Amino acid sequence: MFDSIPRENLAFLPTPLHRLKHLGDSIGLDELWIKRDDLTGHSFGGNKTRKMEFVLGDARTIKADTIVTVGGLQSNHCRQTAVVCAKAGFRCILLLAGEEPEIYTGNLLLESMLGAEIKFYPDDHLLTMHSRLDEVIETLKDLGLNPYAVPAGATMPVGVISYAIAMEELHSQSQKEGFTPDKILVAAGTGGTLAGLIIGAHMLDLNVDIIGVSVLHEADDLKERVKNQIERVINQYPEVGDFKPKIHIDDTFLEPGYGILTDGVRTAIDTFAKMDGIFLDPVYTGKVGLALMRMAINGDIKSDANTVFWHTGGSPALFAYPELGKI
């Protein structure tokens, strides 16, 4: 699948697939599994490492010298961009929405240690940063550099296809374990990871319910964004083949806003850690964990359904939330 696409081999693949026995028993799921993309390697791993393999492969083909991307103050994507650039020899510039803090913690601390050049935009939000990206790219070109723009979350066709390949990886692993996933739950911010998984399921002819738990957009908005991403991939990579995607979004835990810790998310983080030693983050996977627990308890997921929790990483963000350690 996509074997001819240029790629920098940076991630530690395949990532593990294993059961969450104690958590599954506690919420009434007999077959609860976790796909560990928090273990893709390099600076605490995460799903964007898969995407950046293909992004950097593409950047290398046009002889780019500088990678520029955008994110929030505790962006997992920006941290993973910084580390793969350090590994692959690219200059890295990060444009972050928010005011520069007095003390760097979590992902921001790691980005600084990795040598990324960081510029803060205190009056901007993640959703307004694309114009900033365009401005900086043009400035760098005027200076004689050859920059490569990466949108938030590496949500671009060359990044999205990495998760079609990841679906193929999961399919191979689950077959060896003797099951086929019925449901997959994954965090959905910009929607690229979800789009890739849906494309992969289509290409493999899998009948699986892939649920994107939204952390940034309302369901209808995110569905349209994912649909557009899938259409862009089909247009750029005809081998995908045209199809009508089934896009399942759960935006139940969208409020009170992006990155704001709630009691429910904190409970999910605590439960995963105490039950099976799995660390979730407050922005993305914590909300997926809460959604999983709610669906199981409400009966939205049958007890015998083969369910996969796709861990997309983000553990460094835990260190930016000291309130998690307070009882």
How many CB atoms lie under 10 A from the CB of residue 12?
A: 13
Q: Based on the residue annotation, tell me whether 303 is a catalytic residue of this protein.
A: no
| Residue of 205, 210, 214 whose CA lies nearest to 308 | 210
Quote the DSSP letter at residue 217.
Answer: S
- The radius of gyration of the chain from alpha carbons, rounded to an integer in Å, stands at 19
Cα separation of 147 and 4, whole Å? Answer: 24
Which is the catalytic residue, given 75, 162, 174, 315?
75
3-state secondary structure of 62: coil
CB distance 151 to 51 below 8 Å: no
CB distance 233 to 200 below 8 Å: no
CA angle 214, 287, 230 (to 5 degrees): 30
Cα separation of 1 and 74, whole Å? Answer: 33
Q: Which residues 6+ apart lie within 8 Å of 304 measured at CB?
A: 30, 31
Quote the DSSP letter at residue 259.
Answer: T
3-state secondary structure of 215: coil
- Which amino acid is present at 46? G
Active site residues per annotation = 75
